Structures are given as C-alpha cells and as structure tokens.
Structure 1
Amino acid sequence: MRNGGIALSQLQINHTILEQRFPHVATQINSLPNDDLSIPLFTEAFERDIAWLDAVQGAIGNGKILFVFGFERGLSIVDLLELYPNHWLFVYEPDELLFRKAVTEYDLSLLLGHPNLYWLSVGESQLDMMFHMLSSYIIDGLSFIALRKYLSDDMSMLREVKGKFKEYHQNFLVDKYTENRFREEWTRNFLYHLPDVLYTPSIEQFFYAFEGATVVVVSSGPSLQEDIEWLKKLRPHALIISAGSSIQALIKHGIQPHLAVIMDGHPVNKKIFASSVSREQPLLFTSSSYYEISDQNRAEKIYSIMKSDDISRYFFGLSKEELFISPSETVAGTAIQAAACLGAKRIILAGQDLSFPDNKFYADGIEHFAAETTDKKVQEAPKKVLNVKGTYNTTDESFSQMKDGLEKLITALPRIEFVNSTRNGAVIEGAPFKPMEEIYKWLASEFVDPDAIADLINKKNIVVDMNKVQDVKDKLKATLEDLSSVRSEIAAVHKTMNKLREFSRTKPAKAQNMVESIEQMWGVIANRDWFSPIFESIMPIEIARFDQMLPVIVTEHQLTRKSDLIYEHLGKLLQDITAQIPILEEMFSESIRRLDKKTDSDAVIHKDI
C-alpha cells in the first residue's frame, strides 16, 4: 500500500504539470486502460550515457530545435537540457504505456516544467501534432536525435517517422504559401460569409441523408466533352454534383446538377456563375468561397466550414471534430467529401483528367479563363503522367498535387467505391477506369428524384438561433473595437523598443527590465482569443517567420544580441500587424453591416430554414 500511495502522489504531481503545459498528453494518459504497469522495463541507465551524448553532439547542426525520439524515464532528456541550454527540445515518446509508467514511478515535475522542454507528444495519434509544432518553429534545419533504446531496437520506425515528417513539412510549407497567396481573399470570404452561415443549414445537418446513393462528381477536364450525353442519361439514376467551374459546361449542355459546389475564393467565380441558370442550382458553398456567389444564388443553399477555417470556428465556437470537410488541393476533393457526408456508397469521377489530353486544358463550355492563359500552361507543361488508355499525357506540378490529394482522399474513404470514368485522363490510384456506357448499365435500375437535394433542403426546417446570431454579432463588434486597442498597444511596444538597443549597450540592467516589459506587452497582444485566428489568416507567412525566430530569441542569453533580435523581428512583425489593421477594420465593419441587413430582412420576412 505504501508503494501504491507514493506512486499515486508522484502521478498526481506529474499530472498537474502535464495539464498545465501539455494538456493533450494528460488527456492521453487518462484515456489509457488501467493495465498492470509491469510493461517492458526501461533500458535507460541511471548513469550518464557518455558515448550516446558524444554521438548526439556530432548530430546537432546550426538550428535551435532538437527533435528527440523517445522519453523513457527522462534521464537522457535531462542530460540534453543541461548540455544544450540554448536549444528547445521537442520530445516524442511512441510508447504510451512506457510514458505512463515513467510518470507513475518517478517525480518528473522539474523536467516536465522545464521551459526548454518546449513540446511533448505521446503515442502515434499525437505525431501530426508534433510535426505541426516542429514545422512551425524550425528555421535552419532539424536535429533528429533518438534515445539509445530506439537506436537499438527500432531503426525502421525511426526511418518511417523521419520520412513522415519530411512529407508533412513539405505539405506544411505548400499550405503556408497557398494561404499567403489567398490571404486577403480568404479572410474577407470567411468574415463576409458569417451572416449567411447563420441563416443556412450546414452539410453536417444532411449527414447520410442519401445513404447508399451513387454520386457523379463532375470536373472541368477536356474528357468531359465526350461524356456529356451520357451524363444527361445518368441524371435520373445518380446524384450529379458539379465541382467548381464544371457547372458552366453542364448548364451549356442543358444538364442541371443536383448540387453545385464552390470552394475557390477568387472573383473569377463571377464569370463561372454568370448565367442565371447556374445561380438557380442548389449550392454548397464553403466559407472560403467567393462571397458574391452565395449572395447572388437564388436557390437552396448549404454551407460548409472547413476544418482549416479558424476564423469561422472562433466566431461560432466550433471544434475541428464538429466539422466534416477538410481542405483539399481541388474543389473536386470538396465535392467528394460532400458526397461522402451525404452517404454515397459509390462515387464516379467525370472530367477528372488531371493532365492535358490532346493538349487541352478544359472541356468545351468552360470559359472563365482566356484561351492564351490556358494554352501557355499546356505548352509549358513539364511532366508526363500515365493515362487510362496506357499512353501518356502532359501534365504540370499543380495537377500532380491535385492527383496526389485525390488519391489520399480515396484512401481515407475505404467504405466508398470509387470509379474513374474520365476517358482520356490520368490514372487515379484507387479509382479503376470504367467507361460511362458501362456505368450507365450498372445504374439503369437506380432512380434519383430530379430535385432530390433541393427538396431535402426545403424540407429541413431549421429555426435560426437568434442567441447565436447575437453572440456572433457581439464577438464581431468586440473584435472590431479591440483592433483599436491593439494599435495603441503596438505603439507602446515600439516606444519601449526604440530605446532597447541603445540601453542594452549602455544600461544593461534597465535593458533587461525593458526586455521583460516588451515580452509581457507582446503577450497581452498575442494572447487574445481572436488574435491567432485572425492574424494567422491574413498574414500567415509573417506570423510563421516570427514563430521560427522565437526559439532563437528566447534562448539568446547575450543581452545586446537578444535586443537586436527583438528589435528586428518583433519590430517587423508589429509593423506588419499595424499595416493590416485598417484592412481588417473595413472587413469587420462590412461583416457587421451584412449581418444587420440579414437580421433586418429576416425580421420583415420571417422564414424558417
């Protein structure tokens, strides 16, 4: 009993620190079954492992980040923290039970509370979380260190994790630059869609409404032209979902999709939806999509907030787990996820060429880009990809990424049968090719109501939650007012910062106090609930660059150098934030105006949706 009592108190001490610093780990430990802790013993010796530490020294590069594979009972981690006080440690222990044994048997409170133990993940389910944190902070490469236990026993696991991180990091960088490219468009769309979202049903509210249905997801590739007549014949037998610009080709040939999906945030969508008929089709709009299309759509609407939309999630108080659709490289990926949410058992891909068959970019009827723009892309395409006929099409990097994204999505939806009907397109792994005439034979006995999705939306009587409307309006107004406060607080930081470099060289004690004061003032600015969702949306690269410099600033002990780093990097970030504030104020004011207008019109013509 005495041993049990001691173990319990040590677990409680450790658990308190974990809840404060790494709550995800505390939750994970709590969720483990209460198995006997006589699991495989620790192999870590109590005495310092000099040979291993010598090997570590040779592996550490110029960066300030150490990715440590393994925790065991924390002894080697303590050695690393002592020997490398200017580095941040990101520690991953794959064995959840081994970690629980460590926090149950040893008092690790000082180690778990050490400021340079910057991140801790335990178990495979927390690996992506670890990768995200590493990707956010690394700047000069990454030092990958494994405890002796894993070097001896699990080299294949180490290689696999390193490979997964390399892939994750590459995707992280692509995502950041994509966010940066569309930063102002997406932020505006997120904010301007808030009123519409409050008065519209979500895709999640139609979960499995068409369980067992066959869905045709139509894209804009040139092969679509050859199957237009077959799509006309298929419409009574399957749900037709148009992805992005393909609605132009469908409408031109007299085919009305059961649902049109829009994800893209660019104003070019005004051309895509220029036809009044296209604006009369049931619409699924994501919160990133160009807001004027949702405004102009005169038919039934469904919305989707994507898991990556931190702005909408903040204003609606939503977690990622409550949302179904994740961001994808192509609007077809959004349409596929919508079909999965609706309960599709089979998804047929049409017009999904993912390449330039016969040197064509789009199907006939797709006219939102000038011919010279698309011709140039086709002529300069640097790659080849195997097509469904066994020959090769030219393609480019953008289509290659879309293909990879779709194939990953297909793998992630194993319960759905995927079929590729695109006659001249690239081979898509997980979606075997079948021509439309064969697919028509399969589906001839299945029937779908011509207005299936429109009728479903109309029947879905969702009463608008006026408390939620008021809550969102209050948050918008509070954030708009708080932007002025941030502007004033930044001015105060700049005033202190302007004297910092001089004082660091002439009055070090005063400069040290200034550094602490600046850190506190910056903390007040950045720790607001709305700060990360808003500023990481509208200036993702600037925030990411500062995050990467943070380990360098925090671990720099020489006062003059630390002052220079703060002045240069925090100073630049604060200037960038200040430049964005007027743009954000304009967006917030318009979002509030749109919400007031929506609320007023709803009061005049009250309609339950």
Structure 2
Amino acid sequence: MENSDTKGSFLDSVFIECDLHKLDIQHEWLFNFIFYKEWPIIDGMKANADGWRMMNQANVNILKERFPHINEKFNNINSFEELQSQRKVMHERVERDEEWLQAVNEIIEDSKIIFVYGFGHGISIADLLEQFPDRWIFIYEPDEALFYEVLCRYDISFLLEQTNLYWIAVGEDQLKVLFHLLSSYMQEKLAFIGLRGFLEDEMNALRDIRQEFINYNTDFHSNKFIENRFRNEWTQNYLYHLHESLTCQTIESMYNAFKGSTAIIVSSGPSLTEDIEWIRKIQDHALIIAAGSSVQALIKHQIRPHLCVIMDGHEVNNRIFSNGNALEAALLFTSSSYYEISERKKENKIYSIMDNDQVSQYFLRVDKRNVLMLPTPSVAGTAVQAAIFLGAAKVVFAGQDLSFPGQKVYSDGVDHFSEESKEKMLQKAVSQIENVQGGMNATDASFMSMKESIEALIKHNQQVQFYNSTRNGAVIEGAPFCPIEDIYEEIQGQVVEKDIVEQWMERNPIDINRDEIINLKSRLEHVQLDLSVLEKDIRNVRKMVDMIEGLSRTKPLKCHNVIFDIEEQWGKIVNREWFTPVFESLIPLELARFDQKLPSIVVEQDIISKAGYLREYLGQLLNELEEQLPHLEELLIESVKRVDNTLTLNNLA
C-alpha cells in the first residue's frame, strides 16, 4: 500500500466483497475509521477539505433526528479555533480491546443501564454497542472539541443511529440532562464505566462525576417523593393561579428593582423573639422580607414587612393569613402556594412560577430558561432568592434557627401549629448541630435539609454578602454570625421607605393583555376537551395489553404485531403536548416507576416475558391515568371559570 493505486484497489476489493449492511458495528466503524484516515473522498463520503470546520452531513442528519441538543450546540459555536485549542490528545486502540471489554463485562453484569465516561473516536463505543445490544448506553464526552472533530472527519452516522445508544451528553452543560435521564430509567443498578484512555489519565475526574451523579440521583428521588406527597395541592394551585399570572407583576419583571440594598430575611425560629425590637429599628434601613409564618410574629409587634413571601401549598397556611393585617404588605406568591391566600389580596401582588412547575410553564407558554425561582425545602429559600432577584447586595438571616434552641419550636406570635404538633416535632429532634454561640442545639432531618439548601444558595450566589444574625441558631456555612445590632450600626445610614415595593409597582403598572388571557383560556379548554379522547385511547390500549400475555404463548407472531400496535397507540397518548407537564405533576411516582421499567420492556427479547412486562407495568400505569381524569377535568373547569372572571373584572370579556 505504497501508492494511491494500491490503496484504491484494496478499498475497491473491500466494497466488492463486503455488504456494509451485514458488517457488525465494530468492523464497519473500523473500516470507516481507516478509510477516512487514508482517503478524503471516496464513494460520496467526504472528509472536510477545511480541516474540521463543518460536520459530516450524514452525522448532521442523524443528530437532528436523535440528538438535536448536540446539533444545536455545535451550530452555535462562536470560534472554531478556540474550540480546537481546547482539544486534548485521545489515544484509542484501533484493534478490539479484549482486556478492557472483559473488565467492563464484569462491571456490567445484569445492569440494564450503562453510563460511559468518554466517547473518544467511537471505536470502543462500537464494541460496547455490539457486545451489549440488550442494554441502554448513555455517554458523557467531556471533550467538546474531540467530539466535534470526530463528527467532522468521519461518518459515524451508523454508530449514532444504534437504538441501544440512548443518549449522549457533550460538555458539562449537558451533564444534568444526562443525570436526569439516568435517574429516570435506572432500576437497582447502574453500570458506571470509562474508556481506557480516561481510566488511565482522568480517574479522579471519573470519580468526581460518579459522586456528582450519586448526589443528583439522591435528590432526584427525594424530590419525586415530595412531589408525590403534595401532588394534589400543587396541581390545584398551579391551575388556580393561572388567571392571576397575567394580571400581576412577576419577580422577573422586578429584577434589580432595589439594587444594592440590604435585605433581612425574617423566619419564625425562637431566636426572633430576642431580636424583634432590632427588626423594628432596622426596618427603615433595610428591606424586611417575611418568610411565610414569620409574618405572624411581626404583626404581633406591629411591624409591617416590606414584602411577605409564601410558597407552601397546603391549606394549613390559610391560618397564617387569617388575620387581615397579614396581607397588608406586598405579597410574593409562587405558583405552588395555596391559592386562596393570594386571591384574598386584591393588589400589590407579585407572581413567580417555580422551576419544577411544568403545568404553569406549559399553559402560560413560559420557557423554563426564563424561570428564576428554584424550589427549596423552606420558604426562607424562596425569600432569599427573591432578595437576590430584587438586587440585594447583602442578605441577613434573622430567626433562622434551623434547630430547637432551648427546646423551643417557634418565635412568640407564631401560633398556626397546635401544642401537640410542636411536641411531636421536638420528639423527632434526635440530632445535634452546632449553634452560633459554640454550643449544640437539637435538630431534625427536615431542618438539616433546609440548612443544606440555604447553604447551596449561598454558595451559588457569591456576589452577595450573607450574614446570620440568628442569636441562638445553627451555624450556616457561608453566612458568618453577626449580631443584628452590629448590622444595624453598619447600615443605619441607608434609607428604605416603608412602602418602597408598592411605590415601584405604582410606577410600573402591569399591562393586562386580553389576547394572552384568551389564549390561556383556549389552551385550558383544549386540554379539557381532549380528556374524553384520551379516555378512549387509554381503553383501546388497555384492551390490547390485556390480550398479549395469552397471545405470547399461543400466537407469538400475532403478539408481536399487537405489541407494535400498542407502542404506536401509546406513543399517541404520551406525545400529546400537554401530557407530560400535567401528568408529571399529578402522578409523578407512577410515571417514574414506569420509566424505570421501560428499559427492561424495550430490550427484552423473549416474547412471553415482554408481554408480561407490558401487561403488568403499562397496564398499571393506564389504570392510574384513567383514575385521574375526573379530578383533572374538575380542576380544568374551575381554572377556566377563573380566567373568565378575570376577563369580566377587567372589562375584557
């Protein structure tokens, strides 16, 4: 193979003797890899004359179909030279790496899901896809430049179209989506492996990613249980708040409205009792933001906060605001908050969609990337975010004990829980945590979770100064203890008017758009009408699901055909635009359980087992969906009524 004629005849003989469609994945990839290394143009498959500035068109076509997030990423590259400069050297064996594959086989065992750290040139990935056709493979390639070069230099479309290659994340910004998919689909086990090159050169990075996923997975399942616990309240609140969303200011519209200010986040902990008079003094110099029930303590001492924040969705929160004075201050309510509270307040309201609220995002056509408010275990976390969005340069915690100092539960004046409930809280406080005075306080798992979430917010917002003035509370990492009297001395030269929030809202009135309200009503009515169609679709699929187990034993070919019909009809159900946003809210655990079983259903080769899985797992989910339809219809009807009332009240009907 010394000259081009020799190379050409060699390749010609390969084309004559081999049907590429019959080549196994690894051999086909090797053929193309060598082929592109040696030849720029053969049989219409082209390497780029420009080096690697343009992706191979065959790759682009399959990326658009299967991995549009990668295609979009590389379409938005600003500088090819900068990307190329970041490219690391990746050595990958051209021959089949039997030693690595044997080690991988021992790790994978019976895991249905495989996480692979690294794509490289795709040679080892081809081996994996060939050796494990009955597993779902998820890949994280940290080297964006290397992956882009591979897409440009070689035609790997046949590799990308393999159905058991489920997802590829390229670059750190796509890692969270990969973690989400892994958490959704994995069952008891997940095989975590790395390409040989990464195992040899980047083992620490591999360990870090593995730990990052473990942490993400823990939070993912914890959040699913929380969503399930509050699913009825939250879904109701999401839908019943929709009409208000178009007639109120949003937290996004007030971004940096009070830039450079100091915000005092007032919570309901016992330490607030000792510092309440300092809150009175400091209210003329800082934004006082009441987090949920703390407004009761402030009212008792005739202190009016500048802003009250509510997030909790349970009806018990109605008791907190049963006193009319509790609604005097401007109110920031999230889409998850109990709907009756915001309805009672007629003006000076600020609305915020929660990041995990897919329902409101769908009906209001809000892009998730434009939603600011992240869910946290406590309303204090919501209040902290509000302060930062409003432009606070300094955030101070008051009454944020995150524990039970002196075996006390709440500050004086906070009385929405019974003595029996408080006693139960104290009984669960079996852990100890360091307090700001150097001693120890009793605490529980709930407070520890709140503490971690607040500390995460602090870490994520290092441009803001945080202080903890809670006199007897738990230590908060990132917020050093500073007595509130010292905070007062530092900021007493600043002036904050008592109605500063209302003044801003008066200067920036909301523009109520009739067309937006009409469109919202139309979307609600569309889903309401579609429920009857959905019910018929569910029953049709259930009929087929009920028959396949018997067919799998007597008429396997017919069973295959029925399963194909089931997949097609089920696709029509779940591909409704509104299906995922609504039912992820109504039945989060049920959908999560089905997602976990999906890999087993898809990769199962035995027709009897496959039919059994479908009947058990899909059949159960169909029942859950059908049970929710009457309740969902009631919620939608009521939501439409509220939208109609909004049109009437604003003379827009």
TM-score range normalised by the length of the shorter chain: over 0.9
Q: TM-score, normalised by structure 2?
A: 0.91
Aligned residue in 1 for 2:644: 596
Residues 123-150 of structure 1: CA distance to partner in whole angstroms, max 9, x if unpaired? 1111111111100110121100100010
Aligned residue in 1 for 2:204: 156
Residues 553-575 of structure 1: CA distance to partner in whole angstroms, max 9, x if unpaired? 00001111100100100000000
CA distance in 2, matches of 1:111, 1:400: 46
Aligned residue in 1 for 2:160: 112
Aligned residue in 1 for 2:221: 173
CA distance in 2, matches of 1:466, 1:75: 57
**Cα distance, 1:298 vs structure 2:** 3.5
Give the 5 Å matches for 1:170-569: 170-569=218-617
Residues 373-428 of structure 1: CA distance to partner in whole angstroms, max 9, x if unpaired? 11221133111111000010010011001000000000111111101000000000
SS in structure 2 at match of 1:367 = coil
Aligned residue in 1 for 2:29: none
CA distance in 2, matches of 1:559, 1:426: 58
**Cα distance, 1:5 vs structure 2:** 4.2
CA distance in 1, matches of 2:114, 2:437: 49
CA distance in 2, matches of 1:293, 1:124: 41
Q: Which amino acid aligns with 1:31?
A: N
SS in structure 2 at match of 1:4 = coil
Q: TM-score, normalised by structure 1?
A: 0.97
CA distance in 2, matches of 1:230, 1:454: 24
Aligned residue in 2 for 1:57: 105
The reply on whether 1:103 has 2:151 as its aligned counterpart is yes
Residues 326-372 of structure 1: CA distance to partner in whole angstroms, max 9, x if unpaired? 11121111111111111000011000000010011111111111111
Q: Which amino acid aligns with 1:4?
A: N
The reply on whether 1:4 has 2:48 as its aligned counterpart is yes
Pick the aligned partner of 1:34 from 80, 92, 97: 80
SS in structure 1 at match of 2:289 = strand
The reply on whether 1:128 has 2:180 as its aligned counterpart is no
Aligned residue in 2 for 1:17: 62
Stretch moving more, 522-531 or 28-37: 28-37
**Cα distance, 1:495 vs structure 2:** 1.3
**Cα distance, 1:320 vs structure 2:** 1.8
CA distance in 2, matches of 1:12, 1:206: 45
Aligned residue in 1 for 2:10: none
**Cα distance, 1:10 vs structure 2:** 5.8
SS in structure 1 at match of 2:441 = strand
Q: Which amino acid aligns with 2:70?
A: V
SS in structure 1 at match of 2:106 = helix
Q: Which amino acid aligns with 1:29?
A: F
SS in structure 2 at match of 1:277 = helix
The reply on whether 1:575 has 2:575 as its aligned counterpart is no
Residues 56-84 of structure 1: CA distance to partner in whole angstroms, max 9, x if unpaired? 01101332000011001111111111111
Computing the radius of gyration from Cα coordinates, the structure with the larger value is 2
Contact kept in structure 2, 1:61 and 1:142, CA below 8 Å: no
Q: Which amino acid aligns with 1:25?
A: I
**Cα distance, 1:42 vs structure 2:** 3.3
CA distance in 2, matches of 1:8, 1:384: 59
CA distance in 1, matches of 2:90, 2:275: 63
Distance 1:58 1:484, change over 3 A: same
**Cα distance, 1:455 vs structure 2:** 1.6
**Cα distance, 1:9 vs structure 2:** 7.6
Contact kept in structure 2, 1:328 and 1:334, CA below 8 Å: yes
**Cα distance, 1:85 vs structure 2:** 1.1
- Which structure 1 residue ranges, 5 or more long, are not aligned? none
Q: Which amino acid aligns with 2:64?
A: E
Contact kept in structure 1, 2:265 and 2:395, CA below 8 Å: yes
Residues 67-115 of structure 1: CA distance to partner in whole angstroms, max 9, x if unpaired? 0110011111111111111100001001111111111111110111111
Stretch moving more, 104-113 or 38-47: 38-47
Contact kept in structure 1, 2:256 and 2:391, CA below 8 Å: yes
Contact kept in structure 1, 2:402 and 2:447, CA below 8 Å: yes
**Cα distance, 1:280 vs structure 2:** 2.1
Distance 1:97 1:601, change over 3 A: same
Stretch moving more, 115-124 or 495-504: 495-504
Residues 504-548 of structure 1: CA distance to partner in whole angstroms, max 9, x if unpaired? 111111111000000000000000110000000010000000000
Stretch moving more, 54-63 or 153-162: 54-63
**Cα distance, 1:29 vs structure 2:** 2.2
Aligned residue in 1 for 2:23: none
Q: Which amino acid aligns with 1:261?
A: V
Residues 453-493 of structure 1: CA distance to partner in whole angstroms, max 9, x if unpaired? 01212221221111111111000000011111111100111
- Which structure 2 residue ranges, 5 or more long, are not aligned? 1-39, 42-46
Contact kept in structure 2, 1:189 and 1:289, CA below 8 Å: yes
Q: Which amino acid aligns with 2:101?
A: L
Aligned residues: 605
Contact kept in structure 1, 2:48 and 2:152, CA below 8 Å: no
Contact kept in structure 2, 1:62 and 1:140, CA below 8 Å: no
Contact kept in structure 2, 1:10 and 1:107, CA below 8 Å: no
Contact kept in structure 1, 2:53 and 2:80, CA below 8 Å: no
**Cα distance, 1:257 vs structure 2:** 0.6
Residues 559-595 of structure 1: CA distance to partner in whole angstroms, max 9, x if unpaired? 1110010010000000000000111000000000111
Q: Which amino acid aligns with 1:139?
A: Q
Distance 1:353 1:61, change over 3 A: farther
CA distance in 2, matches of 1:390, 1:201: 43
The reply on whether 1:84 has 2:132 as its aligned counterpart is yes
SS in structure 2 at match of 1:447 = coil
Stretch moving more, 24-33 or 92-101: 24-33
Distance 1:10 1:335, change over 3 A: closer
CA distance in 2, matches of 1:302, 1:425: 30
Contact kept in structure 1, 2:48 and 2:153, CA below 8 Å: no
Distance 1:28 1:258, change over 3 A: same
CA distance in 2, matches of 1:37, 1:239: 49
Q: Which amino acid aligns with 1:102?
A: V
Aligned residue in 2 for 1:70: 118
Stretch moving more, 354-363 or 296-305: 296-305
Identity %: 47
Q: Which amino acid aligns with 2:388?
A: A
SS in structure 1 at match of 2:236 = helix
Residues 303-339 of structure 1: CA distance to partner in whole angstroms, max 9, x if unpaired? 0011111111111111122111111121111111111
